[in-house]
Amino acid sequence: MKKRDDIKTHTHIDENGHEYTHTHEDYDHVHAHDNNAHEGHDHAHTHHSHSHTHDPKEMKKIINRISKSIGHMESIKRMLENGEDCADVLVQIAAVKSEINNAGKALLKEHLDHCIVEAVAQNDTESVDKMNKAIDYFMK
C-alpha cells in the first residue's frame, strides 16, 4: 500500500506558457499530459531526493501579495465597467504590474534560498536548469 507521501502532484509550465498538472506515485515515471495540447507527448522525469520546502511565513506573505493584487485587479475591472478615466485605469494597471513583479521577486528569492541551494548541494542540475528557464520567462 502506498503512503500518502509517495503520491506526488505537481504542475508543469511548458515553453509556450501552457500549464498542466498531474499526479504520480513513483519517482521515475513516464506520463502523458492531461492537457489536450500535449496529447501523445510523453517524456520521462527523473526526480531527485531533495525536498521542495519553503519558509511558511514567507510563502504566506507571497500569497497575501497575490491576494492583494487580485483585489486590485477586481477594482480596476470595476473602474472600467463604470467608465472611469482611462488614464486613471492605466495608473492602477501599472501599480498591479509592479505588485505582481514584486511577488515574483519574493518567490524567486524564496525558491533560491531553499530549493535551489539544496539542489546545488545535491548536484541536481535538472532543478537548476528548470529554475534558469523559469527566470527567463519571469524576466520577459
Q: How far is CA 90 from the centre of its chain?
A: 26
Nearest to 131 by CA among 117, 73, 68: 117
Please report, as a single letter, which amino acid is at residue 108.
L
Residue 22 pLDDT exceeds 70: no
Q: Check if the beta carbon of residue 133 is closer than 8 Å to that of residue 12.
A: no
Nine cell digits for residue 72: 486590485
**Sign of torsion, CA 79 82 88 89?**
positive
Please give the model's pTM, rounded to 2 decimal places: 0.58
Average pLDDT, the chain: 75
Place of cell 501523445: 40
Residue 84 pLDDT exceeds 90: yes
